[in-house]
């Protein structure tokens, strides 16, 4: 059976894996509805107790970022990894730039992660309190004006302290600190100066107005609300939610947030506290609002008493080393699940570890690119015996092709007779047509996991590769239509067909290696199938034109190694390949010209 057919089988099995992944990660819709019904009463209480649900922070805005920042009193944030400011209105962390990550290869300005309320594409994190019962109820919420009582600039060495005095006797003091990376710690001390018991619940939330600009909308990548609760991962993609959707879970430990491919903003409760977490899509004029939040179980604060509560906010890059350090040092449940390892996590995690180690071993500037090539070779070596068996079976099939063609010519109108004699030929020559398929099927999850690792890893971003590639996470910038950069014209901007025209050099190389591998395989017997398979390299060339260059390089390199391996095996089997025929024709033409 030809490798083209095997490729179709591979694609089909991959699609099955993806469908299963979507089903099990997102969970059946019936389970979500049941969970929502069971939690309806709690959810209703949380809405009434949480002033953040119905305040004016839910209105979306179209103000410029600069105007929205200027509208509120702010405290500067100045750290080695982040800079920006936090607002005294609601004590929101809503203005943050990631200093270690540039916006683009040709734009050295830092990535802007958080945007203030009222601006287009607002994204911010907030922490507050709600109250219930007959005791004091004036607690800080989204629109509360806090007072700065200590500190001037938030740095890793200088925390700031805010204060809010409720009208009915509750006093809240909040110390905010930031570390050298992306973690903010919010330590609240609440004093009850009244004669009544207060019933208090702390909450944290992340809000995103509309779908973010850097949303990739790729089927193998999760982007949207995400949470870990009681060690279990929950997520919903941005485009899978409808206005009014409300998912809710309860547990102890974990975190909730909103993630895109490379960045995440998350709120993290006390890991020993019981809480209820939720995802919402709130319909509003303008952009709808995605919200992820948690609400701690109520605590009683006796008259004259004091309580202390610690929560955290993460806002930054999904660097695996940093995430794992937080998981270990702060005890945050499964924090590195912010990276979408996928259903083959038992493969993608080791792949990433090896890639990261090799990239450091090779060193800059091309460490990650060389690591991709090296890991592909290592995986090829691992599956060398299986691949040899598969290619040997294909070589035997290729050698039998002339005899099979004779059988078809002998019985052109009798398909059953053709099949009968071909089966007898297989038995006589001791060839098993399925033998070429099974080894490839076993390799599908492994190579899919490697592909997934390359796609989701932040470490590939803005990494160069020898030649013209300056960013392995972006598409090949060259194009055949501008002679690969020789003509100062970018065809990708043409309406409707620009994406199709942007075919770079690496996608073309990938298509050529795919065609070379295809030419080594026995052709399908059906002429229609043969024409379809012959069209596949061209189709995949166009399809991969807009893929990240690192993925295309991996695919082309993998094809190239397969071609070499398959060619050697076929020559050992005594099979004349299309390459051999091509070389003979070239040599014969050369000899004819000399004579």
Same domain, 328 and 408: no
Q: CATH number, domain at 318?
A: 2.70.98.90
Query: Does residue 368 lie in a domain region?
Result: yes
The residue ranking higher by pLDDT, 388 or 238, is 238
Note if the bond before 365 is cis, omega within 30 degrees.
yes
Confidence class for position 566, pLDDT limits 50, 70, 90: confident
What's the rounded Cα separation, in Å, for the pair 179 and 314?
10
Instruction: Answer yes or no: are the C-beta atoms of 116 and 122 closer than 8 Å.
Output: yes
- For 425, the 3-state DSSP assignment is helix
The mean per-residue pLDDT over the stretch 555-582 comes to 80
Q: Is the pLDDT of residue 128 over 90?
A: yes
Question: Which of 266-280, 335-349, 534-548, 574-588 is predicted least confidently?
Answer: 574-588
Q: Is the pLDDT of residue 517 over 90?
A: no
Same domain, 415 and 273: no
Contacting residues for 58 by C-beta, under 8 A, at least 6 apart: 282, 284, 289
Confidence class for position 370, pLDDT limits 50, 70, 90: very high
pLDDT at 153: 97
Query: Does residue 54 lie in a domain region?
Result: yes
Same domain, 390 and 485: yes
pLDDT at 430: 73
Query: Does residue 69 lie in a domain region?
Result: no
pLDDT at 30: 43
CA distances from 332 to 228, 253, 326, 335, 358 (A): 10, 7, 7, 6, 28
Q: Is the pLDDT of residue 22 over 60?
A: no
Same domain, 196 and 326: yes
Same domain, 490 and 371: yes
Same domain, 418 and 438: yes
**Mean pLDDT value across the chain:** 84
The mean per-residue pLDDT over the stretch 327-350 comes to 94
Q: What is the phi/psi pair of residue 31, to 5°?
A: -65, -40
pLDDT at 313: 98
Same domain, 311 and 200: yes
- For 412, the 3-state DSSP assignment is coil
Q: Is the pLDDT of residue 53 over 80?
A: no
Confidence class for position 48, pLDDT limits 50, 70, 90: very low
- Rg value, the chain, Cα: 30
Q: Where are the alpha helices (DSSP H) in 228-268?
A: none
The residue ranking higher by pLDDT, 281 or 27, is 281
Question: Which of 242-256, 372-386, 418-432, 559-573 is predicted least confidently?
Answer: 418-432
- Number of domains within the chain: 2
Q: Is the pLDDT of residue 4 over 60?
A: no
Question: Which of 47-61, 146-160, 351-365, 378-392 is predicted least confidently?
Answer: 47-61
Strands 153-154 and 74-78, sheet pairing:
parallel
Three-state helix/strand/coil letters over 46-103: HHHHCHHHCCHHHCCCCECHHHHHHCCCEEEEECCCEEEEEECECCCEEEEEEEEEEE
Q: Is the pLDDT of residue 141 over 80?
A: yes
pTM of the model as a whole: 0.81
Which residue is listed with tokens 């303008």? Answer: 286
Query: Does residue 47 lie in a domain region?
Result: yes
Q: Is the pLDDT of residue 61 over 70?
A: no
Q: Is the pLDDT of residue 83 over 90?
A: yes
Highest mean pLDDT pick, 151-160, 417-426, 482-491, 514-523: 151-160
Helix-helix angle 40-49:29-38, to 10 degrees: 60
Give the rounded percent of residues in the chain with a pLDDT score beyond 70.
81
**Full domain range(s) for residue 520:** 350-594
Considering 315, 340, 365, which residue would you say is the last residue of a domain?
A: 340
The mean per-residue pLDDT over the stretch 142-162 comes to 96
Which residue is listed with tokens 């995986």? Answer: 379
Query: Does residue 321 lie in a domain region?
Result: yes
Question: Which of 36-50, 66-80, 174-188, 307-321 is predicted least confidently?
Answer: 36-50
Query: Does residue 24 lie in a domain region?
Result: no
Query: Does residue 32 lie in a domain region?
Result: no
Considering 340, 360, 388, which residue would you say is the last residue of a domain?
A: 340
pLDDT at 338: 97
Instruction: Answer yes or no: are the C-beta atoms of 500 and 538 closer than 8 Å.
Output: no
Same domain, 140 and 289: yes
How confident is the model over 412-436, as pLDDT tens digits? Answer: 877 888 888 878 887 777 776 666 5
The mean per-residue pLDDT over the stretch 45-53 comes to 42
Same domain, 319 and 217: yes
Which residue is listed with tokens 């204060």? Answer: 163
Same domain, 289 and 373: no
What's the rounded Cα separation, in Å, for the pair 228 and 529?
47
Query: Which helix (H) or strand (E) element contains residue 579?
Result: helix 578-594
pLDDT at 499: 61
The residue ranking higher by pLDDT, 16 or 513, is 513
Same domain, 224 and 142: yes
How confident is the model over 452-481, as pLDDT tens digits? Answer: 888 888 989 999 999 989 999 888 888 877
- Beta-sheet strand order (sheet of 147-150): 147-150, 160-165, 170-178, 183-192, 306-317, 263-268, 254-259, 224-229, 232-235
Query: Does residue 188 lie in a domain region?
Result: yes
The CA-CA-CA angle for residues 457, 462, 467, to 5°, reads 115
Same domain, 354 and 333: no
Burial of 523 (0-12, 13-18, 19+ CB in 10 A): middle
pLDDT at 315: 98
Considering 282, 315, 340, which residue would you say is the last residue of a domain?
A: 340
The residue ranking higher by pLDDT, 10 or 173, is 173
């Amino acid at each position: 059976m030809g490798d083209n057919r095997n490729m179709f089988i591979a694609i089909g099995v991959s699609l099955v894996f993806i469908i299963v992944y979507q089903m099990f990660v997102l969970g059946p819709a019936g389970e979500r509805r049941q969970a929502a019904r069971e939690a309806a009463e709690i959810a209703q209480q949380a809405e009434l107790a949480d002033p953040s649900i119905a305040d004016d922070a839910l209105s979306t805005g179209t103000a410029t970022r600069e105007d929205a920042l200027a509208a509120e009193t702010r405290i500067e944030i100045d750290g080695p990894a982040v800079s920006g400011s936090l607002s005294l209105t609601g004590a929101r962390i809503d203005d943050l730039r990631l200093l270690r990550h540039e916006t683009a290869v040709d734009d050295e300005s830092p990535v802007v992660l958080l945007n203030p309320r009222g601006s287009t594409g607002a994204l911010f994190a907030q922490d507050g309190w709600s109250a219930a019962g007959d005791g004091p109820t004036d607690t800080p919420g989204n629109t509360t004006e806090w007072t700065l009582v200590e500190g001037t600039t938030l740095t890793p060495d200088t925390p700031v302290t805010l204060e809010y005095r409720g009208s009915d006797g509750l006093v809240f003091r909040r110390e905010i600190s930031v570390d050298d990376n992306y973690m903010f710690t919010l330590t609240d001390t609440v004093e009850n100066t009244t004669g009544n018991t207060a019933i208090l619940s702390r909450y944290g939330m992340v809000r995103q107005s509309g779908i973010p600009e850097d949303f990739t909308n790729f089927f193998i990548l999760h982007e949207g609300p995400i949470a870990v609760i009681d060690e279990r991962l929950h997520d919903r993609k941005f485009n899978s939610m409808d206005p009014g959707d409300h998912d809710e879970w309860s547990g102890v430990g974990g975190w909730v947030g909103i993630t895109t491919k490379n960045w995440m903003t998350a709120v993290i409760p006390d890991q020993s506290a019981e809480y209820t977490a939720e995802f919402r899509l709130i319909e509003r004029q303008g952009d709808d609002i995605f919200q992820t939040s948690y609400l701690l179980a109520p605590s009683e604060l006796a008259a004259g008493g004091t309580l202390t509560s610690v929560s955290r906010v993460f806002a930054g890059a999904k660097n695996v080393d940093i995430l794992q350090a937080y998981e270990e040092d702060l005890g945050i449940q499964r924090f590195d699940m912010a990276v979408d390892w996928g259903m083959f996590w038992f493969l993608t995690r080791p792949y990433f570890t090896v890639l990261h180690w090799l990239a450091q071993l090779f060193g800059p500037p091309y460490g990650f690119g060389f690591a991709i090539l090296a890991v592909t070779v290592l995986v090829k070596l691992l599956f060398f015996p299986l691949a040899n068996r598969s290619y040997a079976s294909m070589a035997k099939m290729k050698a039998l092709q002339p005899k099979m063609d004779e059988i078809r010519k002998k019985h052109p109108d009798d398909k059953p007779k053709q099949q009968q004699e071909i089966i007898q030929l297989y038995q006589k020559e001791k060839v098993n047509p399925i033998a070429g398929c099974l080894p490839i099927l076993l390799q599908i999850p492994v190579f899919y996991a490697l592909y997934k690792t390359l796609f989701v890893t932040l470490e590939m971003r803005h990494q160069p590769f020898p030649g013209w590639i300056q960013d392995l996470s972006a598409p090949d910038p060259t194009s055949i239509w501008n002679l690969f950069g020789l003509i100062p014209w970018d065809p990708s901007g043409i309406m409707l067909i620009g994406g199709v025209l942007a075919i770079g050099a690496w996608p073309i190389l990938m298509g050529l290696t795919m065609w070379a591998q295809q030419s080594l395989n026995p052709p399908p017997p059906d002429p229609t199938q043969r024409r379809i398979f012959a069209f596949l390299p061209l189709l995949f060339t166009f399809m991969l034109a807009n893929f990240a260059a690192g993925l295309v390089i991996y695919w082309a390199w993998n094809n190239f190694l397969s071609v070499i391996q398959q060619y050697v095996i076929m020559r050992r089997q005594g099979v004349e390949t299309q390459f051999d025929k091509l070389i003979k024709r070239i040599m014969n033409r050369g000899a004819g010209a000399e004579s």
